[in-house]
Each structure stands twice: as C-alpha cells, then as structure tokens.
C-alpha cells in the first residue's frame, strides 16, 4: 500500500521543485533584463534632460525628442512627469500637456485599460499630472467598465474635479462604491469656486459625509463667502454639523458675534465648547474672557487646555492666566494656566 | 510484544505528524495564493503618486511617534535624527527615557538642546512616575520624557499619556524607516475614515544594506548565512503570512517595531500590558474590544512601508530572541485563552487564535516530534525507512519549499533587492533551510516552551497582570 504512495509523493515533490526552479530561472533572467532596461532608460533620461528643459522653457526642440523606441518613450514620460512636479508655471504646464497629448496618448490609453490594477492607476496619475483633458472619453469608458475598483473611482472623480467635468456632481451623489469622507474632501478640495457655488444650495440633499466634508473644506480653503452659510448651519439639529461648522469658522477666523459664542461656550456638548473656544482665540473675542477663565476648570482636559491657549491670545490674556495660576482654587485650572504661560503663544492652529 | 508496542507508537505519532503537516501545508498554500493575488494587483504601481495627496496637511491625521529607550546611548541620536527628516505633514517625536542607567538622557539633552518644560500630563494610562518632560529648542516637535524604569510597555504608556495627537506609532530604538513609511502606513487609516484602527508595515533586515545618517541608501544582502536565513524568514512571515491574514481581518500581530494605532482605542483597551510580547497582546486585546463592542473596525497590514531593523548575527542572540518570541506568543495566547474556539469572537476566535495556537505555537513541537520519528524509523528499518523519507520530504516542503516560494513571491511582486546575485543567493539558501536552520529554530522555540514551564512562578505573576486589564 505504502510503496506506490511514496512514489507518487516523490513525483509530486520533484515536480514542485522543478516548477519552482523554472520560475526562479525565469525571474532571474527577467531581473537581469529589467536591470539592463532601467540602465538604458536612465541613460536616455540623462541625455534628454537638457532638451526637455529647453523645450519646456522656450518651446523649441520638440523634434529632437524622439518617442520612437519604447525605452525612449518611457524615459521621456518619466522626465516630463518629474518636471511637471517641479515646475508650477502655467506656460510650462501647457507645454507639458501639449507634448503629452501628442506623444504619450496611445501609450497611456493602453495602460488605462490594462488588466492589472497597478498599471491602470499609474495611467490615471499620468493623466492627472499632465492634465490630459483630451482623454476624457477614455476616462468615461473606464468609469463605465465592470472592473473599476474603488480606488480607481476616487482617482477618476478627482480628475473630473480638476477638469471641471459636469458629470462629477451626480457621480458624487450616486457613486459606484460608497465614498468616504476623505474622498469627498479630496473632491471638494479640487473643485473650482464656480462649481462649488453652483452646487451648495443643494446641501440639504447630500449624504451626511458629503456635508461634513464640505464644511471642513470651507474652513481649510478659507472661503469666507460661505461664512454666513456656516452660521445658519449652527442652527442645525445635527450635532456633528454644528461642531464642524464651528471648527471651520475657527480655521478661517470667522467673526461670530459674542452672544452666539457665549451660547456655545456654555453648551453641554464638550466638543462645541472646545470649538467655540477655538473661534474665540482666533478672532480674539475679548468679550468672552470671563467665560474662558471659567472654562479653565472644565471637566474635560482638552477644553481646559484650549481655553488656556485661547486666553493667551487675548488682550491682557497672560495677566488673566497669571492670576489663575497663582490664586485659583481649582488645582487643574492652576496647572493648565501654568503650563500655557510657560509655553507662550505657539503656532496657533 | 514490547517492541511491537513501540512500533505501533512510532507509527501513530508518525501519522499524526504527517497529517498535521499536510493540514498546515494546505493552510500555508491558501495564504500564499491570497498574497500572490493581492501583491500582483499592485505590481508596478508608482512608488510615490498614491501618497502625494496625503502630504497636504488638511487630509493627514497628525501622528505621535513614540521611541522607548533604555540604555540606548549609542543608537538614540541616529534614530531621532532619521525621524526628524521623515515625510509626514504633522507629527511629534516623543522619546521616552525609561530610567536608563547610562548617559542616554544627557546625550539627548546635549545633542538636541532640550529644555525642561512644565507639561500637564493627562494620566489616561497608569505608569511609573514621570520625572520630567523636555522639549528641544532646535526642533519644536521633539519631546523627551524622563521617567522611572518600568519596562517597555510602561514607557510606551507614558508616551501615550504625553502625546497630543490622535494616532501614535511606536518605533524601536535600533530601526531605520524609509522616509515615506508613515504616509504609506497611515494611508489605509485616512482612506477609510478611521475604520482601520491599527496598521502595521513590513519589517526587513538591515544587515547588509548601506545606511547613511539614518537612511537606507542601497538595499543589499548580508554575507552571513544566519542573516540570509533570517531575511528569508521575514519575507515568508510578512509577504506570505500577513497579507493573507490581513485580507480577512484575522491579523493578530502588528509588529512592535513598526505599527500605527488609534490612541483612543488603545487607551480604551487599557494600553500596553507588561508582557514579553506586548505588541501581539495589544492587538489581540484590540480585536477583542472590537468584537465585544460589535463595531466594524479593522486592523490591517500594509506590505510596502518598510522598517529596517538589525538582526542578530550570532547563534547566541538569535537563540535568545526566538525563545523570547515564543514565550511572548504563549503569554498572549494564555491571557486570551477564552477567545480560542469561542464563536462569540467570530473569525478571530475560530480561525486566528487556533491558527496561532496550533500552527505557530505547537508547530515546532510537532516538527520536533517529526525529527525524532524520522531518526527512530531509520533504526527500525524496512517500511519505516520509507516513512522516514516521506516525513523528510514533507518537512522539506514545510520548510524549504515555502521559503523558496516566498523568495520568488518577493521577486515577482515587491522587488526590493536590486542585484540579481542577491536573489540567486536567497533562493539557494532557502533550499537548505530544512537541513539546518529550520531544525535550529524549532529547537529554540521548544526551549522557549520549556523555559515557561520551568519558571512557573514568574509566569503566574505575569498572567495576573494581563487579566486584570
């Protein structure tokens, strides 16, 4: 019984070794070839560098940049990508785009529909870096394809945002894969002002994550024209929306009336107190000083810390802190005041 | 008659070892296939583009980097220097001097112009007394905590208390990070809106690489056979094992040498515990908390960000390390023994914990048994010799073949080694694994188990501490 079993097993074992060894040989040969390829590409890059730089700056010498062999094309692709990252100026970007649209298009299109995810993603990055609007139809085809993954969708939508594509808005509302807040932020971040203005009135219909992301981005992009709008959102029933609106106001230094500030400084929600303190500090709302002083005894650590930090920015703020540090009954408040007096006004943020 | 019983006994044990190995080989094959598919997907993906966006401060979540140091006077300056130049928009570095008896603190104070600050510490985790907090005058995001000695876990907990940011990462004093490592390891956390609460990167061996002022300049392979074998072992453990486990949220280890955690979750789980393998124990506790709260949080492994660490080059230290790892594993399993086969804990209780218990923990014992049966069978002669050959071939598959596959997997997907000769050497060495390296590590790990059994009292003390959490 055992005799044939072991024979089979032996055969299996030997074939395993043969498979692994041949795979190994293949990989070693491939590696040697790849290393050689890389060496050549790097050599081409060095020899093309000056010409590319001249072309980008002065617009001359396009004819010298040959894309005939795949290696040369790869070298140029990499050079252009590196330059697109280094040089921000508009006319250079325009030349990069023009060159990419004429010379790289077929290659990038092929990559865009490659069966491997990594290659498709690279193609999307190239399209973004080179601003190749000419490929919008290909992008659309990829979006419709069944193999589209979540990360590709986000990258695609981001390109739509950069290109001001009108389809973006409906796709944000009904994406193929549920979008995270991070994805929404990314999209709002790259959307231009007109698009933003055009869609904001439909805020109420958005999914909550999209609403949160919008509020954050208003703060981050410092779009003070939406300040009044944020102020209306402070009446919202959603805690999260109120907290985020306060946070955005703090980030952009929106002047909220001190009545409203005081209302939030005494909110039962500690996050609202915290964010209201941040607003006070940012806009130096001296009227709120007594409230800030009492918040130095707040039960929440970060509220106490933030209150001390905000007081430092006020008129005579350090005077107030010194008083608390020496004579307050609450030991927590004393410690906090001491720490911030010592730290002084650090980077405010 | 008496001899017969021995023959039967050896057969039974032999068949047990045989079936065990076949089962393990099947499981490893499954992990290998999952990893292969995963890694091939992102093959050739650009190194930098996917992370560029995260450099924007408004997306990246700020990070506290904790560096526990106990008598690290020699290496601490280099580690901190390399951390000061990492690519991440907002972070702070907190070095915790855990009551060093050498001049670690003095060196730090002098090199970075530290000044003592009056910092209110939020005691969210209980630790030994913190003597002072310092801040660098040169680098405003560098802090040093000086505290009484309490072990690595205690030091990390003290660091968590002082840290200001919502995520933290612990780094061993003797490791070197790639500059973009933090962006890469944080990406799943940021991408998922915080659904991922811990994320770990790969550990690789720095011996043989060229390192200049805390940065890897060129990846290479050491000439030392013992180190080469460890390189293979790490490839196998990370590329083959963890990707498969991470894919199904079964990951139980985020290496202590390089992992990012959500501070809130770690604090709610009770922080680091005083165990030998505090990194694994914490991850198990986090999984437990996730299941108990019925939340859909994840712990993931990201293959690409690499932390390079120095591997022991002598048998003596390697032996110590392995037996310590095995003790750590046992401790974590023991503390959380209630999870094993407990359906309440879902896949963690039904798959991960049994995997670590039977394959990772008992595996070496069964392998050792296999070696014994092989030897005995040779003496018995006859059909037993064939059986010995059978077992031997199996153990070669178990040891060498999977390691060879791991080396090929690395070259087929991640490709960190630039030289052809490195790959050739890795492959040839992996062929020999079953013949010398594997038996050695099996023996050391079994020694670890014996150590635990011998020192019953010390062991009892440790379990009490863990359970009380």
Query: Which DSSP symbol is given to B358?
Result: I
Q: Which residues of B touch A252 (CB under 8 A)?
A: none
**Helix, coil or strand: residue B190:** helix
Asked whether the beta carbons of residue B46 and residue A121 sit closer than 8 angstroms, the reply is yes
Contact (CB, 8 A) for B242 and B439:
no
B40 touches chain A (CB under 8 A): yes
Show which of residues 345-384 on chain B sit within 8 Å of chain A, judged by CB atoms. Answer: 383
In B262-282, which positions are buried (b, 16+ CB within 10 angstroms) versus exposed (e)?
A: bbebbbebbbbbbbbbbbbbb
What HEC string does B81-94 produce? HHHHCCCCCCEEEE
pLDDT at A13 over 80: yes
Q: State whether A20 and B404 contact (CB < 8 Å).
A: yes
HEC string of B88-128 equals CCCEEEEEEEECCCCCHHHHHHHHHCEEEECCCCCCCCCCC
Judge: A339–B390 Cβ closer than 8 Å, yes or no.
Answer: no
Cα B356 to Cα A326, B10, B243, B263, B452: the distances in Å are 57, 27, 15, 26, 17
Token representation of residue B317 = 């230290």
Contact status of B12 with chain A (Cβ, < 8 Å): no
Distance, CA of B100 to CA of B147 (rounded, Å) = 9
Within 8 A of A189 by CB-CB distance, chain B residues are: 56, 58
Q: What are phi and psi of A298, to 5 degrees?
A: -60, 145
Q: Where are the domains of chain A?
A: 39-58+68-170, 179-254, 264-349
CATH topology of domain B49-342: Spore Coat Polysaccharide Biosynthesis Protein SpsA; Chain A (3.90.550)
What is the distance between the alpha carbons of residues B421 and B428, in angstroms, rounded to a whole number?
11
B43/A118 touch (CB, cutoff 8 Å), yes or no: yes
The number of residues making up chain A comes to: 349
Residue in chain A closest to B54 (alpha carbons) equals: A186
Picking from A212, A144, A133, the residue whose alpha carbon sits closest to that of residue A176 is A144
3 state SS of B200: strand
Residues on chain B touching A181 (C-beta within 8 angstroms): 193
Q: Taking the CA atoms of chain A, what radius of gyration do you get in angstroms?
A: 30
Q: Do B429 and B229 touch, CB atoms closer than 8 A?
A: yes
Distance CA B398, CA B236 (A): 12
Query: Do residue B117 and residue A13 have CB atoms under 8 angstroms apart?
Result: no
Q: Could B49 and A336 be called an inter-chain contact, meaning their C-beta atoms sit closer than 8 Å? A: no
Rounded Cα–Cα distance for residues B132 and B401 (Å)? 53
Residues A132 and A108: beta-carbon distance below 8 Å: yes
Tokens of A86: 């280094």
- Find out whether B348 and B291 touch, Cβ atoms under 8 Å: yes
Of B119, B404, B420, the CB nearest to A32: B420
Count helices and strands in chain B by DSSP H and E runs: 19, 12
Question: In angstroms, what CA-CA distances link B401 with A203, A267, B33, B396?
Answer: 59, 65, 14, 6
Residues in chain A with CB shorter than 8 Å from the CB of B430 are none
Mutation choice for B interface testing from A34, A39, A121 by most B CBs within 10 A: A121
Determine the residue among A14, A17, A20, A305 to mutate to test chain B binding: the one whose Cβ has the most chain B Cβ atoms within 10 Å.
A20
- Residues of A within 8 A of B393 (CB-CB) are 9-10, 13
Report CB contact under 8 Å: B42, A180: no
Chain B residues close to A17, C-beta within 8 Å: 401
Contacts of residue B200, defined as CB under 8 A and 6 or more positions apart, other chains included, come to B185, B242, B251, B253, B254, B255, B258, B259, B260, B299, B300, B301, B302
Residues of B with Cβ-Cβ distance to A217 under 8 angstroms = 58
Nearest to B386 among A6, A122, A129 (CB): A6
* CATH of range A264-349; options 1.10.1760, 3.40.50, 1.10.8, 1.25.10: 1.25.10
A20, B408: Cβ pair inside 8 Å? yes
A121/B418 touch (CB, cutoff 8 Å), yes or no: no
Q: Which residue of A has its CA nearest to B134?
A: A343
Which residues, including other chains, have CB under 8 Å from residue A19's CB and lie 6 or more apart?
none
Other beta carbons less than 10 A from residue A68's beta carbon: 7
CB neighbour list of residue A300: distance below 8 Å, 6 or more residues apart:
A270, A273, A274
CB contact under 8 A, B44 and A305: no
Which residues from A are below 8 Å from B when comparing CB atoms? 2-3, 5-6, 9-10, 13, 16-17, 20, 23-24, 27-28, 31-32, 35, 116-119, 121-122, 125, 129, 180-182, 185-186, 189, 209, 216-217, 220, 301, 305, 335-336, 338-339, 342-343, 346-347
What 3-state DSSP class applies to B353? helix
Q: What is the pLDDT of residues A61-81, one digit of tens each?
A: 888 887 788 999 999 999 999
The CA-atom distances, in angstroms, between B362 and each of B21, B224, B227, B322 are: 12, 29, 25, 14
Q: B297 to chain A, minimum CA–CA distance in Å?
A: 15
Residue that is written with structure tokens 């490709």 in the block: B415
Distance CA A308, CA A318 (A): 9
Contacts A–B by Cβ distance under 8 A: 99
Helix (H) or strand (E) holding B305: strand B298-309
B87: number of Cβ within 10 Å: 15
Q: Could you count the other beta carbons within 10 Å of the beta carbon of residue A194?
A: 9
Q: What residues in B contact A42, CB-CB < 8 Å?
A: none
Encode A128-152: b = buried (16+ Cβ within 10 Å), e = exposed.
bbbbbeebeebbeebbeeeeeeebb
Binary contact (B193, A339; C-beta < 8 A): no
Q: What is the mean pLDDT of residues A245-249?
A: 95
Q: For residue range A313-344, list pLDDT tens digits in order.
A: 888 888 889 998 888 888 889 989 988 888 77
B205: left (phi over 0), alpha (psi -120 to 50) or beta: beta
* Separation between Cα atoms, residue A237 and residue A222, nearest integer Å: 25
Q: Going residue by residue through chain B, which has 469 residues, state the pLDDT in tens, using 9 for 90 and above.
A: 577 888 888 889 999 999 999 999 999 999 999 999 989 888 888 888 888 888 876 777 899 999 999 988 887 888 898 899 889 999 999 999 999 999 999 999 999 999 999 888 888 999 999 999 999 999 999 999 999 999 999 999 999 999 999 999 998 877 888 888 999 999 999 999 999 999 999 999 999 999 887 788 899 999 999 999 999 999 999 988 888 888 888 888 777 678 999 999 999 999 999 888 888 999 999 999 999 999 999 999 998 888 998 899 999 999 999 998 999 999 999 999 999 999 999 889 999 999 999 999 999 999 999 999 999 988 888 788 888 888 899 899 888 999 999 999 999 988 899 999 999 999 999 999 999 999 999 999 999 999 888 875 443 333 322 222 2
Report the residue of chain A nearest B39, measured CA to CA. Answer: A118
- B45–A3 CB contact, under 8 Å: no
CA A145 to chain centre: 25
Nearest residue, CB atoms, B42 vs list A5, A118, A305: A118
Residue B69 main-chain phi, psi, to 5 deg: -135, 125
Residue B265 region by backbone torsions, left for phi larger than 0, else alpha for psi between -120 and 50, else beta = alpha
Looking at the DSSP bridge assignments, the partners of residue B307 are B177, B203
* Per-residue 3-state assignment (H helix, E strand, C coil) for chain A: CHHHHHHHHHHHHHHHHHHHHHHHHHHHHHHHHHHHHHHHHHHHHHHHHHHHHHHHHHCCCHHHCCCCCHHHHHHHHHHHHHHHHHCCCHHHHHHHHHHHHHHHHHHHHHHHCCCCHHHHHHHHHHHHHHCCHHHHHHHHHHHHCCCCCHHHHHHHHHHHHHCCCCCHHHHHHCCCCCCCHHHHHHHHHHCCHHHHHHHHHHHHHCCHHHHHHHHHHHHHCCCHHHHHHHHHHCCCCCHHHHHHHHHHHHHHCCCCCHHHHHHHHCCCCHHHHHHHHHHHHHHCCHHHHHHHHHHCCCCCHHHHHHHHHHHHCCCCHHHHHHHHHHHCCCHHHHHHHHHHHHHCCCCCC
Q: Does B15 touch chain A (CB under 8 A)?
A: no
Number of residues assigned to chain B? 469
Confidence of residue A258 (pLDDT cuts 50, 70, 90): confident
Say if B396 is an interface residue toward chain A (CB within 8 Å).
yes
Q: In this predicted model, what pLDDT tens digit does every residue of A143-192 receive, in sequence order?
A: 999 989 999 999 999 999 999 999 999 999 999 999 999 999 999 999 99
- Kindly report the nearest CA distance between residue A91 and chain B, in angstroms: 23
φ, ψ dihedrals at A84, nearest 5° = -65, -25
User: Considering Cα of B149, then B150, then B151, then B157, what sign does the dihedral take?
Assistant: negative
For A24, the closest chain B residue by CA position comes to: B408
Under 8 Å CB-to-CB from B209, ≥6 apart: which residues?
B216, B217, B218, B219, B220, B308
A324's tokens: 């608390």
Give me the helices (H) in B262-341, please.
263-269, 278-293, 315-335
| Selection from A313, A301, A340, A343 nearest residue A324 by Cα | A340
Interface contact A116-B40, CB threshold 8 A: yes
Helix (H, G, I), strand (E, B) or coil at B56: coil
Q: What CA–CA distance (Å, rounded) separates B61 from B345?
A: 30
Q: By CA distance, what is B187's nearest residue in A?
A: A182
Q: Does B45 touch chain A (CB under 8 A)?
A: yes
Q: Tokens representing B126? A: 């209980």
Q: Does B427 touch chain A (CB under 8 A)?
A: yes
């Amino acid at each position: 019984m055992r005799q044939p079993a072991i024979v089979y097993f032996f055969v299996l074992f030997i074939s395993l070794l043969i498979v692994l060894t041949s795979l190994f040989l293949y990989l070693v040969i491939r590696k040697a070839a790849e290393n050689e390829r890389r060496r050549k590409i790097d050599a081409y890059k060095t020899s093309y560098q000056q010409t590319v730089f001249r072309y980008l700056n002065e617009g001359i010498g396009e004819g010298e940049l040959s894309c005939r062999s795949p290696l040369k094309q790869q070298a140029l692709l990499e050079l252009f990508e590196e330059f697109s990252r280094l040089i921000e100026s508009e006319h250079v970007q325009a030349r990069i785009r023009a060159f990419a649209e004429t010379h790289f298009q077929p290659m990038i299109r092929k990559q865009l529909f490659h069966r491997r995810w990594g290659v498709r993603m690279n193609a999307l990055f190239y399209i973004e870096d080179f601003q190749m609007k000419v490929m919008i139809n290909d992008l659309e085809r990829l979006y419709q394809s069944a193999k589209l993954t979540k990360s590709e969708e986000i990258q695609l939508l981001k390109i739509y945002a950069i290109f001001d594509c009108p389809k973006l808005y409906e796709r944000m509302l009904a994406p193929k894969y549920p979008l995270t807040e991070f994805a929404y932020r990314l999209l709002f971040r790259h959307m231009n002002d007109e698009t933003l203005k055009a869609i904001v009135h439909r805020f109420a219909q958005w999914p909550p994550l999209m609403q949160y992301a919008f509020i954050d981005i208003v703060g981050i992009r410092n779009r003070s024209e939406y300040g009044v709008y944020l102020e209306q959102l402070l009446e919202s029933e959603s805690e999260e929306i109120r907290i985020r609106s306060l946070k955005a106001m703090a980030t952009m230094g929106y002047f909220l009336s001190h009545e409203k500030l005081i209302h939030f400084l005494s909110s039962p929600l500690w996050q609202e107190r915290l964010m209201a303190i941040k607003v006070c500090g940012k806009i130096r709302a001296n009227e709120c000083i007594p409230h800030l002083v009492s918040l130095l005894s707040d039960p929440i650590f970060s509220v106490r810390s933030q209150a001390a930090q905000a007081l430092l920015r006020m008129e005579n703020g350090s005077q107030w802190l010194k008083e608390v540090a020496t004579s307050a009954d609450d030991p927590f408040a004393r410690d906090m005041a001491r720490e911030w007096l010592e730290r002084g006004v650090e980077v405010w943020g | 008659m008496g001899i017969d019983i021995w023959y039967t006994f050896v057969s039974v044990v032999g068949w047990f070892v045989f079936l065990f190995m076949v089962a393990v080989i099947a499981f490893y094959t499954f992990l290998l296939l999952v990893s292969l598919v995963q890694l091939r997907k992102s093959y050739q993906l650009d190194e930098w583009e996917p992370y560029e966006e995260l450099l924007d401060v408004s997306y990246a979540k700020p990070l506290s980097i904790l560096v526990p140091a106990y008598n690290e006077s020699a290496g601490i300056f280099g580690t901190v220097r390399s951390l000061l130049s990492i690519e991440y928009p907002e972070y702070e570095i907190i070095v915790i001097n855990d009551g060093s008896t050498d001049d670690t603190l003095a060196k730090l104070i002098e090199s970075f112009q530290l000044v003592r600050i009056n910092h209110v510490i939020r005691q969210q985790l209980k630790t030994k007394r913190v003597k002072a907090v310092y801040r660098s005058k040169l680098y405003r995001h560098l802090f040093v905590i000086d505290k009484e000695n309490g072990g690595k876990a205690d030091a990390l907990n003290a660091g968590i208390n002082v840290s200001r940011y919502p995520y933290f990462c612990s780094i061993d004093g003797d490791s070197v990070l790639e500059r973009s490592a933090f962006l890469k390891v944080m990406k799943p956390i940021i991408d998922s809106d915080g659904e991922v609460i811990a994320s770990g990167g790969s550990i690789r061996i720095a011996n043989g690489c060229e390192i200049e002022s805390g940065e890897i300049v060129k990846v290479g392979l050491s000439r030392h056979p013992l180190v080469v074998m460890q390189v293979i072992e790490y490839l196998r453990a990370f590329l083959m094992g963890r990707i498969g486990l991470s894919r199904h949220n079964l990951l139980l280890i985020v290496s202590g040498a390089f992992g990012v955690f959500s501070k809130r979750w770690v604090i709610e789980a009770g922080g680091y515990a005083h165990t030998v393998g505090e990194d694994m124990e914490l991850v198990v506790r986090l999984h437990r908390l996730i299941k108990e709260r019925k939340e859909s949080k994840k712990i993931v492994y990201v293959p690409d960000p690499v932390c390079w660490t120095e591997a022991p080059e002598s048998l003596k230290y390697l032996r110590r390390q392995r037996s310590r790892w095995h003790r750590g594993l046992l401790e974590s399993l023991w503390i959380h023994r209630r999870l094993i086969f407990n359906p309440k804990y879902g896949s963690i209780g039904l798959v991960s914990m049994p995997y670590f218990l039977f394959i990772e923990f008992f595996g070496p014992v069964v392998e050792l048994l296999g070696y014994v049966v092989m030897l005995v069978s040779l003496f018995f002669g006859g059909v037993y010799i064939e059986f010995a050959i059978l077992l031997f071939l199996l153990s070669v598959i178990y040891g060498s073949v999977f390691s060879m596959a791991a080396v090929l997997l690395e070259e087929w997907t991640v490709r960190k080694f630039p030289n052809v000769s490195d790959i050739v050497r890795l492959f040839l060495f992996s062929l020999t694994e079953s013949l010398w390296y594997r038996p050695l590590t099996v023996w050391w790990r079994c020694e670890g188990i014996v150590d635990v059994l011998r020192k019953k009292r010390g062991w009892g003390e440790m379990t009490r501490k863990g359970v009380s959490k």
